[in-house]
Amino acid sequence: QKEVEQNSGPLSVPEGAIASLNCTYSDRGSQSFFWYRQYSGKSPELIMSIYSNGDKEDGRFTAQLNKASQYVSLLIRDSQPSDSATYLCAVNGGSGGYQKVTFGTGTKLQVIP
Amino acid sequence: EAQVTQNPRYLITVTGKKLTVTCSQNMNHEYMSWYRQDPGLGLRQIYYSMNVEATDKGDVPEGYKVSRKEKRNFPLILESPSPNQTSLYFCASSLGAGYTEKLFFGSGTQLSVL
């Protein structure tokens, strides 16, 4: 079982719709959860972080965390073509400590105009 | 401008020819790390450093070396590159290794080993 699992996609949504990206993790002791966006040929950039159960909203983005289910998700409301990118889920603070950040393989999102 | 600078952006080399990829950050960050990114495998950590003269192995350290003689620099060294090290490499840094720390990434180095 991979430490951090994501559906590779591509996930296609029409412009204006809600995109839902999901991530599961195996280390129950994980403390910190991040979503990075990576445009093709570019480096990852952080868009959301979440540390406690529940929802965290920032503009059109909402991160959701459920530690009991070992599940974290990212919702993008009013999706725009500029949101088309690969979204990487990252986890740390588990058995590897905070110096070890583990990434999922990413979900490719395509927003169709 | 706060940034992580990697060089070179692209590198083509031959098997066994030693190479170094440089990484420098101007944010006075304590923590630095190297990742490789391969299709279907995602970002995998090679080495990390918590501070000057403090480095440790990540998930895929074989065939790589690092050093941290100055806080701002964290070069990645391939003593004898092999074709399976063909990959996209990213250097990253953060203020520390606390659980809230976000990673700042360099622009990446696309390495091809022939």
**Average of pLDDT values for A62-85?**
97
Count contacts between A and B (CB, < 8 Å).
Answer: 59
Is the CB of B58 less than 8 angstroms away from the CB of A100? yes
Amino acid at B106: G
Phi, psi (rounded to 5 degrees) for A25? -135, 155
Which range among A21-35, A66-80, A92-106, B25-39 shows the weakest confidence by mean pLDDT?
A92-106
Question: B99 to chain A: which residues are within 8 Å by CB?
Answer: 31-32, 51, 92-93, 98
pLDDT for the residue A35:
97
State yes or no: pLDDT of A2 exceeds 80: no
Q: How far is CA B16 from CA A105, B20, B23, in A?
A: 29, 13, 22
B47-51: list long-range contacts, CB under 8 Å, 24+ apart.
Answer: B47/B76, B48/A99, B48/A100, B49/B74, B50/A99, B50/B97
Tell me the DSSP string of A2-25: -SEEE----EEEETTSPEEEEEEE
Under an 8 Å CB criterion, which residues of A touch B?
Answer: 4, 8, 31-32, 34, 36, 42-46, 49, 51, 88, 90, 92-93, 97-106
Task: Tell me which range, A95-109, B67-81, B99-113, is most confidently predicted by mean pLDDT.
Answer: B67-81
By C-alpha distance, the chain B residue nearest A8 is: B40
Instruction: Identify the band that residue B95 occupies on the pLDDT scale cut at 50, 70 and 90.
Output: confident
User: Which of A42, A98, A100 comes nearest B45 by C-beta?
Assistant: A100
pLDDT for the residue A1:
59
State yes or no: pLDDT of B114 exceeds 90: yes
Question: A7 to chain B: which residues are within 8 Å by CB?
Answer: none
A42-70 per-position pLDDT tens digit: 999 999 999 999 999 999 999 999 999 99
CA angle A70, A72, A77 (to 5 degrees): 160
By C-alpha distance, the chain B residue nearest A96 is: B58
Pairing of strands B109-113, B10-13: parallel
User: Which of A46, A90, A99 comes nearest B97 by C-beta?
Assistant: A99
Contacts of A83 (CB under 8 A, 6+ apart): A19, A76, A109, A111
Is the CB of B90 less than 8 angstroms away from the CB of A43? yes
